[in-house]
Amino acid sequence: MYLFDGSFFATWPISVCTAIERRVNRYWWGTGTDRGIHWKAWDKLCIPKKYGGLGFKDLRTFNLAMLGKQAWRMLTNTDSLVSRVYRARYYPKHTFYKASLGNNPSFYWRSIMAAKEVVCGGVRRRIGTGNSTLIWEHPWLQDELDPMIHTEMPPQLTGAKLQFFIISGKHGMERFEMLAYLCPEKLLPTQ
C-alpha cells in the first residue's frame, strides 16, 4: 500500500483513516466474501512487533507523525523556501513556535498546525552559548512537564538572552548565578 511520497502530507479525516483501517482489517480477518472472526482488537494489532503486536500502523497517529516531521522542518530549517513562504503568510513577526492558525488558512497550513502542538510540546532548546535563547520566551529548562520560567519578568530584562547569565567557571563548567533567584527549584541541584 502506497502511503506517502515523503513531500506532502495533509490531515486525513478520521472517517478516511477508519475506512482504510477497516479494509486492512477485513483483508487480514476475512476470507473472500465471508466475514472472519477478529481474533485481536485493532489497537492490539497496532502495537509494535517487539512489544507483542503485529506492527500495523494506526493511520491517524502515523499521519500526525508525518505532519510533525514537516512542522519540525519549519521549526529548525527557517531558511528553506517553504518555511520562508509560510512565515511570510502566517507568522511574519514571530517564530514558528508562536505561530497561530490565522485568518483563512490553507488546508496544508491547517494540517501543519494540527501537529504543531505535538512537536512544540516536546521541544527543548540547546543552550550552547545562550546567544539565541530568550530567558522567558523559549523552553530551555530541563523539566519534562514545564520547561518555561514563570516568575514575573522584570521590565528591564525584556528580550534578555541567556548568554548574559552564563559565567564560565573552573574547567569550563557553566553556572547560572543570577538565574537562581528566578527559578531555584529547577536550576539548583537537589542534594
| Residue 19 confidence (pLDDT) | 85
| Residue 85 confidence (pLDDT) | 92
Q: Is residue 81 pLDDT above 90, yes or no?
A: yes
Q: 129-169 pLDDT, tens per residue?
A: 777 788 877 788 777 777 777 778 778 778 888 777 666 55
Give the Cα separation of 188 and 178 in Å (integer): 12
| Residue 184 confidence (pLDDT) | 52
Q: 21-78 pLDDT, tens per residue?
A: 888 777 777 766 666 677 777 788 888 889 988 888 888 888 888 888 889 888 888 8
Q: Which long-range contacts (CB under 8 A, 24 or more apart) does 118-121 make?
A: 118/64, 118/68, 118/71, 119/68, 119/71, 119/72, 119/75, 120/71, 120/75
* CB neighbour class for 65 (10 Å; exposed up to 12, middle 13-18, buried from 19): middle
| pTM: predicted TM-score of the whole model, two decimal places | 0.63
